A and B are shown apart, each in its own frame.
Chain A
Amino acid sequence: MKYLVYLLFFALVIAHHDFWWWDQHRPFIFGTIPVGLAWHVGISLGAAFVGILGILFCWPVDDDEEEALIDAAANTPTPNQEHS
């Protein structure tokens, strides 16, 4: 499933270059939005959808780690490490 999310992400990037609509303005979606603009509104919706899939299948922090980080953070001092 993780790979499907990656694939959808790249599909979204490729779909952005929608040269097939570039020279036409009709149809108007909902009678108002030119088809090329509507396509890009679709890309925005697609980005949100891929975001949902990313959260469900590729989330980088598991619950246990998250709890440990939150607990540890309270006692972590500001970094003062010196480097050459």
Chain B
Amino acid sequence: MIAQAAGNSGMVSLVVIVCYMIMLIALGYFASRSFKGTSADYFVASRGIGPFVLLMSLFGTTMTAFAIIGSSGEAYNAGIGVYGKMVSWSGIFHSFCFFLVGIKLWRLGKQHGYMTQIQFFRDRFESNNIGLLLFPILVGLIIPYLLMGVIGGATAIEKITSGAFPEMFAATKGGLPFWAGGLMMCVVVLIYIFYGGVRGAAWANALQTSIFVVLGIVMFVAIANKLGGPAAATEQVAKYNPSYLKVSISEADHERFLAQQAAFEAGESKVQPREPEEIPPLIFLTYMFIPFSVAMFPHLFQHWLTAKSASSFKLSVVMHPLLMMLTWLPCVLIGIWATSATMPDGSLVIPIGTPQNSVLPIMIAKLVKSPVLGGLVTAGVLAAIMSSLDSQFMCLGSIFTNDIVGHYVAHDKLTDKTKVLLGRGFIVVIVAITYLLALQLRGASVFKLGVWCFTGFASLAPLVFGALYWKRISKIGAYATILTAVVVGGYLFWDASRLEGTKDPTIFGVMPVAVIFAASTVAMFVVSLMTPAPSHATLKKFFKNP
């Protein structure tokens, strides 16, 4: 069997992936042995998670497939500016949100026993019905995010296992079909969160995060070596596509491109140059609003509540920007090297027109040629995806159980045992729905929807900042904030969805998130000041000096 597998690169990759999945199930089993049987333990790990696991959970949850495959593809498409757009902004503002939002919510969670975001908003805004408005919005924003993960992971498994079953799955060139890869991922995530709850998710995240950070570096070293070292690889880009090593482009870049294109067409050069690309300054600037989404992610809210102490956040505040750098920098460099890397015969490793998500797999396949590394990198990609999926599934289960059934149907009279049972039941249903939707929508461009999910959550961030830091925010002001974000965001999404192409949609040259964020903030201030302030009792509950 082993000898047979060794001769079949797809099978080797599959074996690596299956071993990885078994490891995750084992981890879920160990997490379940620490389960105390209470809903507080299932949904917030008895608020006992320490600094290292909290860091890994928060980091793993915020990183998706985009962190490995997407980052290199984006850098290949747009050059080094992708790091500034995505990583350095996130480094600044994610830690900012952990500090200003996470710790405060942790404190309120400890004081008042919150398990979900909606419980907090219901109390803070003195509104029983705000949950009914927020619930469909939060679920509507998370589902495309979940789909992006399942579709991305199942596609990667199908590609990397190509050749494993040439007779059984001829239609996928022998690769494990999409339905089977997606099913495997969903079932494994389901097993470890079903039994381990949020503790299982946190432990699995710690493992998965370590895996994708380490594998990113291993992959970087392997590819750099094949390109003659990192310095030689960068010099090659400076020779053929220097515009990808900076953010803006000049007339000289256009002239160089035309001259090199002419040389290529005349057969004097085997390297076809790529058209210079730049990131407009306002886009670069207004990407700063995207990281505010972490302040409103319900699954991060849940992880914040799991922290054992406020001090547990210290490691995350410091290490999160560094881990982002460690994960993204190698991938961004590989992406820009891919614009100009050549094979021994002088042709490009990545032919012009290659879909950006295929850049990294092709670099590995053509340069490193190792099925084991291919399998490991796919495991790394799956780690990034599954470490987000588990938290999102958990959080949706928690919202359904505590906020919808527990509060609105059973009027907070559910027993602890029933809550755990319902939570598990909902998680099974959500996983099943996500899987079936992924099968239906596997060809859809969910990646774009993913960007809009971040935009949606970021646009709601003024609500959580207002709730924590502005005593005057009123119940009607909170509704106005949410409805403005939904109406303006919905309109801009509809407007942008008519556009074709991969470019960022813009409104007056800025990212839509900046416009929606500004609109919801203005609505919050104006409407709150025009409507009755919250009661003294509520202010006393949430502020030291009401």
Contact = CB atoms under 8 A, between A and B. Distances in A.
Q: Give the size range of B's interface with the partner.
A: 35 or more
Interface stretch (B135-143, B170-178, B304-312, B366-374): B304-312
A23 B231 CA distance: 20
A48 B288 contact: no
A45 B326 CA distance: 11
Interface string B94-123: 011001000110010011111100010011
A70 B110 contact: yes
A25 B99 contact: no
Interface stretch (B63-71, B195-203, B261-269, B313-321): B313-321
B128 interface: yes
A58 B308 CA distance: 20
Contacts of B113: 73, 76-79
Q: Give the size range of A's interface with the partner.
A: 35 or more
A72 B91 contact: no
B47 A21 contact: no
A45 B95 CA distance: 12
Contact of B310 (A25, A31, A43, A61): A61
A82 B128 contact: yes
A61 B123 CA distance: 22
B47 to A, nearest CB: 6
Contacts of B320: 51
B463 to A, nearest CB: 17
A81 B47 CA distance: 21
B92 A70 contact: no
A34 B245 contact: yes
Contact of B317 (A18, A24, A43, A54): A54
Nearest to B321: A47
Given A48-B322, A52-B318, A79 B247 contact: no
A-B pairs with the 7 shortest C-beta distances? A25-B245, A80-B412, A31-B231, A61-B310, A47-B321, A76-B113, A43-B88
Interface of A: 9, 12-13, 16-19, 21-26, 28, 30-34, 36-37, 40-41, 43-45, 47-48, 50-52, 54-55, 58-61, 66, 69-70, 72-73, 76-84
